[in-house]
Chain A
Amino acid sequence: MLDSTSVQRHDGSTYQRPGIQGSMSVQPQDNAQWEQALTFIAVDRDKRAYSQLFSYFAPRLKAFGLKMFGNEQQAMEMVQDTMLNVWQKARLFDASRGCASTWIFTIARNVRFDMLRKKQSRKDELSADDLFFDGDYPEQEGVDSNEWDLWLLAEKVAPHFAKLPPAQRDVMEKVYLEEKSHQEVSEELAIPLGTVKSRIRLALDRLREAIDDPRS
């Protein structure tokens, strides 16, 4: 049974969304709660925590599936396979490696890849689990790019750095010269994390264009 539940959004407004009656009285709203839900599922096979996660993610995964496949049947197949993986492999979720939403996205992406591969009946060894490795890479020892970095910075990047718009330059200096995390910069400048990331990207694009420009 579905009922309509009013949910507080991040921007403070509310919207109506379907929920599954009974188990849906509590509405986890942020990643910490999804992480907790995944832990409960992993440890206790907690169906209540799972159905909350399900009612939040399934309709969004369906939207993602429709965008990717363009048809309802495959979108729903992707939702079911993805959410089944979440239920069966919750133990693999590791909050230290990323958000719950990130983990669920990567599962949906892998499910979609394998669905496409199956549809083309390609029976080679290229499977999503191998192509989109999600675990820890081994530590690379002895990687030393300092020399190259320094040369490149001095010769190529530095002259263009000063020409960046001040807002972008501030963020770039904090991230690359003071070696602060994106999160720290976001807090320090009181701007959203997304803004930090987009300023970095814009600045990198500018630097790249400046460096690529043969006249420079």
Chain B
Amino acid sequence: MIHAVKHHPAQELLEQYIEASLAPELSLAIAAHLDLCPHCQRVKMDLEAEAGAALVNLAEEPATATEWQQMLDFITAQPELAVSMEKRQPFALQIQNSEILLPASLKPLLQNKLKWLNLGGISTAKLAGEDQHNVSLLYIRKDSEVPQHTHLGLEITLVLKGKIYDEAGCYGEGDLLINTPDHTHTPRTMSEDCLCLSVLTAPLKFKKGLTRLLNPLQHLFY
């Protein structure tokens, strides 16, 4: 049985994602989660429909007749583009001696050879990012423990393959773990290796506080 995704981003996180208000690295983690989670795909479409309706309800912002006309003339003078709707497909990548299927969102970041840094049972390879935002792959061999660590911002982990456990439970393919600076836990693997996407990002501002970043129940209702 394929693991049913149980740990989803809270709606507020998805709302910020669909309007591109999240840090791009964080959006990447959400996009990769969406690749693996049909429930959140539906929520995303609903939220975008709402945002579209809100756009239509905005009061018009005027510009001069000449400005609009010039823009219109410029646009309609441009040729049609040859475009076609792509289909999102997972892709296979050789990681630590096994071939692993990965979400399509990650493909652009995995064009170059990965440089793994090995620390005991854990290997990491940086994919992108600078300053406070950092995207990397995390490969945790079976029966390993991730050392306790702290960070200034949020740490978001998306399980891509295998399972990881912490005090709160078990996380499988597609599940998101979100850790805030004031919340420590010790994730570990058991009988199988685990591949994760890890995003470190600056703290976010949320209306309802950080406890709501994850919503394990969301999938029930959409």
Contact = CB atoms under 8 A, between A and B. Distances in A.
A109 B19 contact: yes
Interface of chain B, main secondary structure: helix
Contact of B76 (A47, A64, A94, A103): A47
Contact of A145 (B18, B51, B128, B219): B219
Interface string A68-108: 00000001100110011001111110100111111111101
Interface residues of B, number: 69
A25 interface: no
Contacts of B50: 197
A125 B108 contact: yes
B52 A102 contact: yes
B217 interface: yes
Interface of A: 1-2, 17-18, 20, 45, 47, 50-51, 54-55, 57-64, 66-67, 75-76, 79-80, 83-84, 87-92, 94, 97-106, 108-110, 112-113, 116-117, 122, 124-128, 130-133, 135-138, 140-145, 148-149, 152-153, 156-157, 176, 194, 197, 200-201, 204, 207-208, 211
11 contacts: A2-B64, A18-B65, A51-B72, A103-B52, A105-B51, A113-B24, A124-B109, A130-B108, A142-B2, A157-B220, A211-B217
Interface of B: 1-2, 4-6, 11, 18-20, 24-25, 27-28, 31, 34-35, 38, 41, 45-46, 48-53, 55-56, 58-65, 67-69, 71-72, 74-76, 78-81, 83-90, 104-105, 107-109, 111, 128-129, 215, 217, 219-221
